Structure 1
Amino acid sequence: MPGVAVAAGDLLHLTREASVQFSRPITVRVIRVLTDWHTYDGWVWIDAYELNGAGDAVRRRTLFLMPAGARRLTPQPGPPAGPARTTTRQPGGKATPPRPKAAPPRTAGRRPGKAAIRPGPAVPQHRAAVDPQRPARPGPAPVRGSAVPR
């Protein structure tokens, strides 16, 4: 990529040739080039998404690199982002859009899998209130052999 500027949307493979920080090569998709950040000649700061082997973004990073050492990749065609919206034609030629999916039933403000917290009796302040057979814990032990003469 000598003499070619990095631009938003570029898919780059970064190795040590781009910067010493890439001891483990990574693949990124450029979000933007940070042109207002001053740097050395031949170096740039970029915001990019680090991609995994499947091409999914796993982390957003701000990187300092030499574009001359980066290898530009061609994007691989992937599956479509989502199901295509279709319309159906009814007799008479009127098109009807697909119905939106129904929302899942709400569970009275609770998160799924979490038991409801029910109010109970107040928390006792003393151990004697918990177990009347067991006396409350005494306070600090008296100091024996104190330095104050009697």
Structure 2
Amino acid sequence: MLPRSGDVLHVTRAASVQFLRPIMFRVIRVLDWPTYDGWLWLDGYELNAAGDAVNRRSIFVQQEGLRHLQAAPAPRPHTVRTARRPVARTPVRVG
């Protein structure tokens, strides 16, 4: 399954040899750039141990080597908005 926006991944050497030191990565989006079979371009943020974004990156990884740490929140259900009443306008006093 492709990563989704908001997913937090553990990216290790299994995903690509460039990750000798594993990182945590929060996905912004999967880029639709041409790649080899099983490989992906991901746009997102590298996270520190506290989960704070420290560096925005685009990474080239093998999908099979990615490990999910946290899934993206489920989309909110569509809500019906009620019509808003117009604000009553009054004359402006000057002076």
Which amino acid letter does the alignment assign opposite residue 5 of structure 1?
A: L
Structure 1 SS opposite 2:42: strand
Match of 1:62 in 2: 58
Q: Which has the higher strand share?
A: 2
Structure 2: runs of 5+ lacking an equivalent: 72-95
Structure 2 SS opposite 1:64: strand
TM-score by length of 2: 0.72
Which amino acid letter does the alignment assign opposite residue 2 of structure 2?
A: A
Match of 1:141 in 2: none
Structure 2 SS opposite 1:58: strand
Alpha-carbon shift at residue 51 of structure 1 (Å): 0.2
Match of 1:16 in 2: 13
Match of 2:36 in 1: 40
Match of 1:146 in 2: none
Higher RCO, 1 vs 2 (CA within 8 Å, ≥6 residues apart):
2
Q: After TM superposition, what 4+ stretches of structure 1 lie above 3 angstroms from structure 2?
A: none
Q: Trace 1:124-143 onto structure 2 (pairs within 5 A).
A: none
**Rg (Cα) greater in structure:** 1
Which amino acid letter does the alignment assign opposite residue 55 of structure 2?
A: R
TM-score by length of 1: 0.46
Alpha-carbon shift at residue 6 of structure 1 (Å): 1.5
CA deviations on 1:37-87 (whole Å, 9 max, x unpaired) are 100000000101000000000000000001210110027xxxxxxxxxxxx
Match of 1:25 in 2: 22
Structure 1 SS opposite 2:64: helix
Identity %: 61
Aligned residues: CA RMSD: 1.0
